[in-house]
Amino acid sequence: MTVKRFSILVAVLAVLAVGANALVFLSPDDAPVVSGSPTLIAPPAAQAAAPLEVLDDEPPRREPPAPSPTPSPAAVQDGILRVGSKGAEVSALEQRLADLKYMVGKVDGSFDANTRHGLIAFQKVEGLSRSGIADAASMARLATASTPAPKYSSPANHLEVDIPRQTVYVVRGGAVSAILPTSTGSNKNFTNGGWTRRAVTPNGRFTITRKINGMRIAPLGELYKPSYFNGGIAFHGSGSIPTSPASHGCVRLPMGFSDWFFSEASPVGQVVFVHGGPAGDNPQPTIEDSPAPPSAIPTEDPVEPPPPPVAPAPAPIVSLPPILPQPEPEQTPEEEDDDDDDPSDVFDGNSAVNLLNP
């Protein structure tokens, strides 16, 4: 073997020896620094090199976000129906209230202001919380409730204002045919036009005496289609129907039912009963649309006195011919015998008794 070949063999063996040994790593944490040069330390035999991360040729694809589901009305999420709720549950609620004669407007599955008024009227009659929300207590009572009976049986057609419950009953044929919520006199003092009085809706039996088919602008506010039954106290539509007494004395009704009530429920002459409020006479009535004291309450509009009755035409005088004296007829012999001396004249009733009983 020549020197050249021996040198090549040694070089190959050296390369193989280096490849067989483990690679030497520099550990910056463990390797001490001597004279500015790091010390090479072989890693433990059990330690393996970390695999290399393989990258894709294109960035990762982003899937489009899934569309969020259309949220159901907030009023239904907690299982409670309230204004804004829609659907079959609302339709069932409206129909049940309507069957019990509570006015709700259209049964259309939309919980609107009219539905709320009907539910509040039901809650008032049943002694529940007047929330206007179909909570668990209200729904449970609806399942077993019945239409209330009127307080008065005669006349068969009349109106009832229940002051404690703040409701109005429309009674037809002796049975309740419609129930509405109301707000009556607040029972507080108020001053208007220099006159202070108490806001009450007094008890009693009254009749509808006057109606105004339109908006009445009164000193104490606006009255929509009022039906007067006690001086200036009237049923009328209002945009404010709180669940407690708040008026100056009138009986407020929801605007959604005012047209129907004016045309169908309150004809002139209709009897109105107010009960459960101030007892006795009405010495100081609360007049919704007149600031005058009760002793000088003017009518809503000046009323012209009726014209005096026309005197009847005198009857025509008919002239009669003069009455002429008639000649006396001559007496016949038979007529001459008929005088007071005739003894037969004594036998009348009384004379006969006297003759028999001297």
Are 214 and 127 in a shared domain?
no
**Number of domains making up the chain:** 2
At which of 296, 312, 329 does a domain end? Answer: 296
Q: What is the CATH number of the domain that holds 123?
A: 1.10.101.10
Residue 246: CATH number of its domain: 2.40.440.10
At 41-75, the pLDDT tens digits run 444 444 444 443 333 333 444 445 555 444 444 44
The pLDDT assigned to 293 comes to: 37
Question: Do the domain assignments include residue 137?
Answer: yes
Q: Domain for residue 287, yes or no?
A: yes
Strand partners, 222: 217
Distance CA 68, CA 210 (A): 59
Tokens linked to 110: 């939309």
pTM higher than 0.95: no
Counting Cα atoms < 13 Å in the Cβ hemisphere of 39 gives: 9
- Residues with Cβ < 8 Å from 195, sequence gap 6 or more? 291, 292, 293
pLDDT at 158: 98
* Structural domain contains residue 8: no
User: 207 and 128, same structural domain?
Assistant: no
Contacts of 89 by beta carbon, 8 Å cutoff, 6+ apart: 76, 81
Q: For 285-298, what is each residue's pLDDT tens digit?
A: 444 544 333 333 33
Q: Can you read off the two tokens belonging to residue 216?
A: 């009445």
What CA–CA distances, in Å, run from 266 to 101, 106, 212, 261? 17, 22, 12, 6
Given the structure tokens 């703040």, which residue do they identify? Answer: 166
Element (H, E) at 125: helix 113-126
Given 114, 147, 180, the domain boundary residue is: 147
* pLDDT, greater one: 274 or 73: 274
Among 271, 296, 321, residue at a domain's last position: 296
- Judgement on whether residues 198 and 261 belong to the same structural domain of the protein: yes
Range of the structural domain that residue 225 is part of: 189-296
